[in-house]
Amino acid sequence: MTSIQEAVRFLKEGKPVVFPTETVYGVGVARSQERSAASIYDLKGREENKPLSLHIARIGSLDLKKIYFPRLVSFLIHRFWPGPLTLIIKHRNGETLGYRFPNNPIARQLIEMLGEPMLATSANTSGKPPATTVREAESYFGNKIPVYLDGGKTQFQEASTVLDVTQYPPKLLREGTGAERVREAIVSFLDNSFVKRKILVVCTGNTCRSPMAEGWLRHHLTTQGYADSFEVESCGTAAFSGIPPSDEAIQVLKADGIDISHQRSRALYDELVFRASHIFVMTDSHKKYILELFPEVEKCIAVLNIPDPIGLEQAEYQRVYELIKSKLNKELEWILKF
């Protein structure tokens, strides 16, 4: 029986094991044996309010559809995983977890053979430096750990960088291995996102009111010389992706010299909301929908009180369009003072 096989057996019995990563040695338990995590806190003399990280062996263990800021997280994991970056991620069910995908063949084989992620942290007692050799780990825990997997001296001999992506923009919580590269990557991502201040217009299906508002506002800001300062986007609280604006909406703006035929609908999602400095919604129900999901953006929202013309005649679209222009014109002072 190999040492990894033996380690897997102990993990399935709820016992902790020590294993190498590319940064420092870790001590962990099987996720399904979460109650056994208490033994790690006892071993380390660590406060239980300091959570363990979920160590995985494949990106597929993280479901991007169930987390906040999936585009940002996807950008980071494809650039840094496997590797020395721990991501603190918020799930849509309210759970917050730290994820680590170690770039060490022993660690990854251990997790693969276990068949599930591991809850783990650095192998050291509280206040002591993390072990970078198996002997250092043994000096901390002795025979309290049934299995030590020896991978030699770790590659980086420094803990992983920890990045909090439960907020936007993300925040570095610990500068460890590769911190400068992570910082540069964040700047690169944010530069792409924040070249201009963002204005977001929201309706329901994103095929009538918000495309008209987006098209007119973008055109108006451009003619007023603000094209380099603002970017206008729209979305819907119940939108399907990829649908063009209604023919009536296209024709109404075309008569005003504005082409919105290229625009396509999309659903509201977190990054759209959080990167917007101003959010215009058509009704109070749209505001309520957004604030139930993202209460922290309340100060950014203005309600235009625009009725839905869908299914009505062209004349109603024209009336709604004129109302949109009138309401947005009144809001421009608020927009431009920022």
* Domain definitions of the chain by residue range: 3-192, 194-336
Res 199: pLDDT: 94
The predicted model scores a pTM of 0.74
Say which residue, 229 or 307, is predicted with more confidence.
Answer: 307
Mean per-residue pLDDT of the chain? 93
CB-based contact 182:164 (threshold 8 Å): no
The 3-state secondary structure of the chain, one letter per residue: CCHHHHHHHHHHCCCCEEEECCCCEEEEEEHHHHHHHHHHHHHHCCCCCCCCEEECCCHHHCCHHHECCHHHHHHHHHHHCCCCEEEEEEECCCCEEEEECCCCHHHHHHHHHHCCCEEEEECCCCCCCCCCCHHHHHHHHHHHCCCECCCCCCCCCCCEEEEECCCCCCEEEECCECHHHHHHHHHHHHHHHCCCEEEEEEECCCCCHHHHHHHHHHHHHHHCCCCCCEEEEEEECCCCCCCCCCHHHHHHHHCCCCCCCCCCCCECCHHHHHCEEEEEECCHHHHHHHHHHCHHHHHHEEECCCCCCCCCCHHHHHHHHHHHHHHHHHHHHHHHCC
pLDDT over 80 (residue 238)? yes
Res 211: pLDDT: 98
Q: What is the largest CA-CA distance in the chain?
A: 82
Yes or no: domain 3-192 corresponds to CATH 2.60.120.10? no
Res 193: pLDDT: 61
Res 337: pLDDT: 58
Res 314: pLDDT: 95
pLDDT over 50 (residue 10)? yes
CATH of the structural domain 194-336, one choice from 3.40.50.2000, 3.40.640.10, 3.50.50.60, 3.40.50.2300? 3.40.50.2300
* Sequence-ordered list of residues with C-beta below 8 angstroms from that of 129, at least 6 positions apart, any chain: none
Q: How confident is the model at residue 195 (pLDDT cuts 50, 70, 90)?
A: low
Peptide bond before residue 129 is cis, with ω within 30 degrees of 0: no
Cα angle at 237 between 230 and 208, to 5 degrees? Answer: 70
Res 220: pLDDT: 94
Q: How confident is the model at residue 296 (pLDDT cuts 50, 70, 90)?
A: confident
What is the tens place of the pLDDT at every residue in 20-41? 999 999 999 999 998 888 899 9
Determine which of 55-59, 112-116, 224-228 has the lowest per-residue pLDDT on average.
224-228
Determine which of 191-195, 220-224, 322-326 has the lowest per-residue pLDDT on average.
191-195
pLDDT over 60 (residue 338)? no
pLDDT over 80 (residue 280)? yes
Res 194: pLDDT: 53
pLDDT over 90 (residue 65)? no
Average pLDDT, stretch 69-76? 88
Determine which of 62-76, 89-103, 172-186, 201-215 has the lowest per-residue pLDDT on average.
62-76
pLDDT over 50 (residue 1)? no
Phi, psi of 188 (to 5 degrees): -60, -45
Res 334: pLDDT: 67
Percent of the chain with pLDDT over 70: 97
